[in-house]
Structure 1
Amino acid sequence: MPRKDVRGKQGAGEAGGEVEAALDELYSTPPAGFVSRREELALRARTDGRAEDARRIHAARRPSLAAWTANLLRRSLPQESRRFLELGEALREAYGALDRAGIKELSVQRRSVVAALSGQAAQLAAEAGQRLSASVRQEVEATLQAVLADPAAAEQWAAGRLETALTPPSDLLPGSAPPGKAARTAPARPATRAPAKDELAERRRERERQLARAREAAEAAEERLRERRTESAEADSESGRAGERLDRAEEAVAAAERHLHAAREELQLSRQERRAAEERQRAAADALARAEREAREAAREAERAERRGRR
Structure 2
Amino acid sequence: MVALSVRKGRRAGGDRDVEADLDELYTTPPSAFVPRRETLAAAARTAGRAEDARRIHAARRPTLAAWAANLLLRSQPEESRQFLELGRALREAYRDLDAAGLKDLSAQRRRVVAALSQQAAQLARDAGQRLSEPVQQDVEATLRAVLADPDAADQWSGGRLATALTPPSDFQPGTAPAAEKAGKRSHPPAPQPAARASKKDELAERRRARQERLQRAREAAEAAKQHLREERARQADVDAELQQARERAEQAHQRMAALEKEMQQAREECGQAENAQQEAEQRSRSAADALARAERKVRESAQHVRRLTGGTT
Query: Aligned pair 1:121/2:124, yes or no?
Result: no
What whole-Å deviation, never above 9, does each CA across 1:32-85 have from its counterpart, x for those lacking one? 222222122111111211110011011111112211111111112222111111
Task: Rate the CA distance shift 1:308–1:101 in 2: closer, same or farther, 3 A.
Answer: closer
Is the 2:103–2:173 Cα contact (8 Å) retained in structure 1? no
Q: Which residue of the partner structure matches residue 262 of structure 1?
A: 265
* Cα separation, 2, equivalents of 1:275 and 1:149: 88
| Post-superposition offset of 1:299 | 4.9
1:98-117 to structure 2, matched below 5 A, reads: 98-117=97-116
**Corresponding residue number in structure 2 for 1:3:** none
**Match for residue 275 of structure 2 among 264, 272, 277:** 272
Secondary structure at 1:195 match in 2: helix
| Alignment deviations for residues 66-120 of structure 1 (CA, whole Å, 9 cap, x no partner) | 1111111111222211111111122223333432221211111011100111111
Is the contact made by 2:149 and 2:167 (CA closer than 8 Å) also made in structure 1?
yes
Q: Give the partner amino acid of 2:271.
A: Q
Distance 1:125 1:280 in 2: 72
Structure 1 distance, partners of 2:183, 2:129, is 46
The 2-side partners of 1:274 and 1:265 are apart by 14
2:180 to 178, 183, 208: 183
TM-score of the two chains, using structure 1 as the length reference:
0.81
Match of 1:211 in 2: 214
Please state if 1:140 is matched with 2:176.
no
1:52 corresponds to which letter in structure 2? E
CA contact under 8 A between 1:100 and 1:179: conserved in structure 2? Answer: no
**C-alpha contact (below 8 Å) 1:99/1:179 kept by paired residues:** no
Structure 1 stretches lacking a partner, 5+ long: 1-10
**Shift in alpha-carbon separation, 1:15–1:96, aligned structure 2, 3 A:** farther
Distance 1:108 1:181 in 2: 26
Q: Residue 24 of structure 1 corresponds to which residue in structure 2?
A: 23
Shift of 1:253: 2.7
State how far apart, in whole Å, the 2-side matches of 1:186 and 1:135 are: 42
> Could you tell me how far apart the structure 1 residues matched to 2:49 and 2:177 are?
57
Q: Tell me the residue number matched to 1:7.
A: none
| Contact persistence 1:156–1:162 (CA under 8 A) | yes
Structure 2 letter corresponding to 1:138? Q
**What SS is found at the alignment partner of 1:222?**
helix
Would the aligned equivalents of 1:92 and 1:148 in 2 still touch at CA under 8 Å? yes
| In 1, Cα distance between equivalents of 2:302 and 2:182 | 142
SS in 2 for 1:39: helix
Match of 1:284 among 265, 280, 287: 287
More helix by share: 1
Matched-pair contact (CA < 8 Å) for 1:67–1:163: yes
Stretches of structure 2 lacking an aligned partner (at least 5 in a row)? 1-9
Q: Distance in 1 between matches of 2:228 and 2:20?
A: 28
Amino acid paired to 1:67: A
Measure, in 2, the Cα distance between the counterparts of 1:234 and 1:103.
36
Find the counterpart in structure 2 of residue 94 from structure 1: 93
Aligned to 2:130: 131
Q: 1:186 to 1:66 in 2, by over 3 A?
A: farther
How does the TM-score come out when normalised to structure 2?
0.80
Q: Is the 8 A contact 2:29 2:67 kept in 1?
A: yes
Alpha-carbon separation, structure 2, partners of 1:152 and 1:127: 30
- The Cα of 1:159 is off from its aligned counterpart by 1.0
- 1:183 maps to a residue whose letter is E
CA, structure 1 residues 180+18, in 2 after alignment: closer, same or farther (shift >3 Å)?
Answer: closer
**Identical aligned residues as a percent:** 59
Q: Per the alignment, do residues 185 and 113 of structure 1 end up closer, same or farther by CA in structure 2, a change over 3 Å counting?
A: farther
Q: Which residue of 2 aligns with 1:4?
A: none
SS in 1 for 2:198: coil
Between the aligned partners of 1:218 and 1:237, the Cα distance in structure 2 is 28
Alpha-carbon shift at residue 237 of structure 1 (Å): 5.3
Q: Deviations over 1:147-167 (max 9, x none)?
A: 111222111101110011111
